[in-house]
A and B are shown apart, each in its own frame.
Chain A
Amino acid sequence: AQSVTQLGSHVSVSEGALVLLRCNYSSSVPPYLFWYVQYPNQGLQLLLKYTTGATLVKGINGFEAEFKKSETSFHLTKPSAHMSDAAEYFCAVMSGGSYIPTFGRGTSLIVHP
């Protein structure tokens, strides 16, 4: 079985501050991990994904995430928030031969001027 927990339904930061969105997963086998972003009135778009190999993954718009097996985490970070980063962010996991991802409940990122 696979599951995802996103800590914090809302995260608020100031423009220029560090962004940290937390994701912990549960999987009995090595997982594939994804972060998606959803802007208002749009569908989800892939930000980045971890498959195998390098544990630090870089994505679009300056975001990156680090796969930490020992902590079963895949937290999303960005050094400096921009107003345009305000959106809903979803973490997802696929594992165990399943092609169906399990999504977290999402974290709404609010960026203050």
Chain B
Amino acid sequence: NAGVTQTPKFQVLKTGQSMTLQCAQDMNHNSMYWYRQDPGMGLRLIYYSASEGTTDKGEVPNGYNVSRLNKREFSLRLESAAPSQTSVYFCASQTPGTQAQPQHFGDGTRLSIL
């Protein structure tokens, strides 16, 4: 059971560079999410996709873009990386239905921007 797979696991960028974080899930979930985790801040939602073909902004969307490529894949793009975007990024997915369903998380991408 792969669950939610994130690539890469680690990345170091220079300020101004761009990159795309990849996320794929094999659980046939409709909803997918991108979070960033910073010390003492918990998880903050960047973008989410309630279903294939839709995306919406979360709490901290500035500086990011997303693409819901298909039902399995949801990517996060940094067009011009800034040191403030140094963080651990988590992708999550959720099955449709009632609100009682938990989210399933990947192991994260640790991103450092110099």
B75 touches A (CB below 8 Å): no
Chain B, Cβ-Cβ closest to A101: B103
Chain A, Cβ-Cβ closest to B41: A105
| Interface residue SS majority, chain A | loop
Residues 1-59 (chain B) with a chain A CB within 8 angstroms: 4, 31, 33, 40-43, 45, 48, 50, 58
Taking a contact as CB atoms under 8 Å apart, the answer to whether A99 and B99 are in contact is yes
With a CB–CB cut-off of 8 A, which chain A residues contact B99?
32, 94-95, 97-99
What are the 3 A-B residue pairs with the smallest beta carbon separation, nearest first? A43-B105, A105-B42, A51-B100
With a CB–CB cut-off of 8 A, which chain A residues contact B98?
51
Q: Chain B: residues with CB nearer than 8 A to chain A?
A: 4, 31, 33, 40-43, 45, 48, 50, 58, 90, 92, 94, 98-100, 102-103, 105-108
Q: Quick one: which of B42, B98, B100 has the most chain A CB within 10 A?
A: B42
A19-46 toward B: CB 8 Å interface, digit per residue (1/0)? 0000000000000101010000111111
With a CB–CB cut-off of 8 A, which chain B residues contact A99?
31, 50, 94, 99
| Complex Cα gap A43–B43 (Å) | 11
Count how many chain A residues have C-beta atoms less than 8 Å from C-beta atoms of the other chain: 24
Q: Chain A: residues with CB nearer than 8 A to chain B?
A: 9, 32, 34, 36, 41-46, 49, 51, 90, 94-95, 97-101, 103-106
With a CB–CB cut-off of 8 A, which chain B residues contact A104?
42
Taking a contact as CB atoms under 8 Å apart, the answer to whether A32 and B100 are in contact is yes
Cβ contacts A to B, 16 pairs, < 8 Å: A9-B40, A42-B107, A43-B90, A43-B92, A43-B105, A43-B108, A44-B43, A44-B92, A51-B98, A90-B43, A94-B99, A95-B99, A97-B99, A100-B45, A105-B41, A106-B42
With a CB–CB cut-off of 8 A, which chain A residues contact B4?
43
With a CB–CB cut-off of 8 A, which chain A residues contact B31?
99
Instruction: For residue A11, give the distance in angstroms from its CB to the closest CB of chain B.
Output: 15
